[in-house]
Amino acid sequence: MSDPTPLVVQFSAVSKTFGDVKAVNRISFEIRRGEFFSILGPSGCGKTTTLRLLAGFDEPDDDGGEVRLLGEVVNTRRPYERQIGMVFQSYALFPHLSVERNVGFGLEQRKTPRTEIGTRVRKALEMVRLAPDTFTRRMPAQLSGGQRQRVALARALVLNPAILLLDEPLGAVDLKVRKEMQLELKALNQQLGTTFVYVTHDQEEALTMSDRIAVMDNGLVAQLGTPAEIYENPRTAFVAKFIGESNFFGGRVVRRSGGALELALARGECIRVPDSPTIKEGQKVQIAVRPEWMDVCRPADVPAGENGLAGEIRDVIYLGETMHVMVTLKDGNEVTVALRNEGQLIKPLPWKRGDTAAVAWLPEDCQILEEA
Amino acid sequence: MVAGRLPDPGGSLTRPPRERLLGWLHRRPEAQAWGLLGPGVFWLVAFFLIPLLIMFAYSVMPRGEYGGVERGFTLESYQRFFVPIYLTILIRTFVVSIACTAICLVLGYPVAYAIARSGRWKNLLLFLVVLPFWTSFLVRTFAMIFLMRDTGLINTWLLKLGVISQPLTILYTPFSVMAGLVYGFLPFMILPIYASLEKLDNSLLEAAEVLGARPAARFRQVTLPLSLPGVVAGCLLVFIPALGSFLTSDLLGGAKQLMIGNLVQNQFASARNWPFGSAASFILMALVLAAVMIYLRMRDAAPAGR
């Protein structure tokens, strides 16, 4: 009993192959009780297969590792034997059943007494903020997208599952409802103590709601960590590109000095990056820098101790909250710098297309990337 | 521009007639609808509604001596129908048609279900279902005679294999009629059920499963109710033509398995009693209409939304 929060989901070297495509390739991760865990990635990355392995719609390959739920190996257990809840992207409400019968469907399967079904259905509808008196008798076709999603959520939650799987549940609702539901889902997760496993391709959504995120790419877990770890310390170029925006630089380590590595870029300019024990002198490395951690200045004004690379302003883009300054460096590399918009009418940025300028940033804001 | 003449804003006078017609149609959706409906409506009126009215007129006119009808009005043909011999035929027709529909449903549903889940074999299997339509129904019915008669394929093989020592009487029995009817109508049951199963959203089945429904419960509570429209359509497509069928009972049933279709056919052909044939048709039609309405009423009242 050393770990106070038991593991509810354990994937150990799980593989799933369709034909000759490895949809999921020896992935391992664990999810703790009560966590809001997101699986994030572009389409085709294996996130849906991972969820389907969890739900039991697909089984791992014969030599494809172990899926454990609440400590038990469930590789070949059918979905109806797993006691999990699931919310589908398409809602998957039964069109021939009323809201009440939809929400009560799982309880009916469990031979729950009729009166108890009634009370629990009402409670579940209240939990997702649908007035039972208004909605129990309605058919799914009479509901809006957001209401259907709430019914689908109530239908899964009414069974008090240990784990709730959500497959891009907010993909089809409009922006306003989506924002609202994001906060409600997060609140439900905390209030009920249910483990949420949330599959999405929307990085902002994952960052907003999750305790931890598994970023998937090409059937592998590219990185697993808290939103801050994923955003601020992306381990691979894929993660740095998929979550937020990044500027990339590639170079060779020329020397170690004063707790930093000196990197020679293609055209011979040198930049400094934080030291990392695994990197040897002479090694080629790629680094990423977030646009908002960089600044634009005149080439002569690069602050001491900062990296500076000269180039030409290609464009200044007005985005409201921020201004994006695009700079073409001398080696042709395009760099985007995000600056806070302090009011272009009062205090406009002094840059326009064609100006000579430099981008500058602190060595510690460089993230050294692993080879993917 | 000639002075005093109004400008022509849409250029409607200068545009070619084809464009003017299209523009006119575009502004009048009801004209569009009539344009689309027109040919079909004309066809139905000319070749269905009018003949039907003629038939109805015949059914209330006295019989002509050598076929045809004579002037006058009489309900004699309708009264004549309600005697035991014709009522027996009527009841037999309904019993046979209901049984045929039931057998088609029992045989057809699993086939439709299998095709709907057969993945890449789907098109091939559907092709096989409609393949019999490439040959005339008459030819196929004769083929069944060759199969089922005393010296037919079935008896020959059973005799050769020593299963039987005397040929079985298969042809000209209620069984042979039923076999022929079911064979002929089975595709009309399979296709609509297939259509409704095919568009069944797979995530509904998965949702049922994850909510704890075992395969049998899932079929009963999700698949079956959602395929009911196909079942209803299939049953109507089998039941109604079965009621009016005469070829199968004529060729495979001999004279013993007369159905109302045979009666009507005989009255127009050999018996030359057109009014009675017409009256029998209208009685059948009225009963079909009543049966279908009761059926649809029952279906709508069935628990769909509770």
B interface with A, Cβ–Cβ below 8 Å: 201, 203-204, 206-214, 217, 221-222, 225-226, 304-306
- Asked if B305's CB is within 8 angstroms of A80's CB, the reply is no
Task: Report CA B86 to chain centroid distance, whole Å.
Answer: 23
Rounded distance, CA B246 to CA B277, Å?
13
What does the pLDDT average to over A257-266? 85
Stated pTM of the model = 0.81
pLDDT at B306: 37
Minimum-distance CB partner of B213 among A55, A80, A98: A80
Question: Could you tell me which chain A residue has the CA closest to the CA of B207?
Answer: A92
Mean residue pLDDT across chain A: 92
Confidence of residue A182 (pLDDT cuts 50, 70, 90): very high
**Average pLDDT score over residue span B123-133:** 92
Residue B230, both tokens: 């196909």
Query: A279 pLDDT band (50/70/90 cuts)?
Result: confident
What would the mean pLDDT of B267-296 be, rounded to a whole number?
89
Closest chain B CA to residue A165: B210
Q: Is the pLDDT score of B6 beyond 60?
A: no
Among B201, B209, B210, the residue to mutate for chain A (most A Cβ within 10 A): B210
Substitution target in A80, A101, A157 with the highest count of B β-carbons within 10 Å is: A80
Please state the CATH superfamily assignment of the domain spanning residues A7-236 in this structure: P-loop containing nucleotide triphosphate hydrolases (3.40.50.300)
Distance, in Å, from the CA atom of A110 to the CA atom of A180, rounded to the nearest integer, reads 32
Least CB-CB distance to A96: which of B203, B214, B225? B225
pLDDT, tens only, B280-294: 999 999 988 998 888
Coil/strand/helix, residue A132:
helix
Mean pLDDT along residues A70-82: 92
Question: What is the complex's ipTM, to 2 decimals?
Answer: 0.85
A172: contact with B, CB 8 A cutoff? no
Mutate to test the interface with A, among B211, B220, B228 (most CBs of A within 10 A): B211
Q: How many residue contacts between A and B have a Cβ separation below 8 Å? A: 67
Nearest to A80 among B214, B226, B304 (CB): B214
| Domains of chain B in sequence order | 77-301 (1.10.3720.10)
Class of A245-369 in CATH: mainly beta
**With an 8 Å Cβ cutoff, is A90 touching chain B?**
yes
pLDDT tens per residue across span B146-167: 999 989 999 999 999 988 888 8
User: How far is B73 from chain A, CA to nearest CA, in Å?
Assistant: 52
State the pLDDT confidence band at B304, using cuts at 50, 70 and 90. very low
Q: What is the pLDDT of residues A35-44, one digit of tens each?
A: 999 999 999 8
A95 Cβ neighbours under 8 A, 6+ residues apart = A139, A140, A141, B204, B226
Q: Do domains A7-236 and A245-369 have the same CATH topology?
A: no
Q: B73 to each of B18, B77, B273, how far by Cα in Å?
A: 53, 11, 15
Backbone angles phi, psi at A150, to 5 degrees: -65, -40
Q: How far is CA B22 from the centre of its chain?
A: 38
Stretch B80-95: mean pLDDT: 92
* Spans of all domains in chain A: 7-236, 245-369
Residue A353 predicted with pLDDT over 80: yes
Averaged pLDDT for residues A174-189: 91
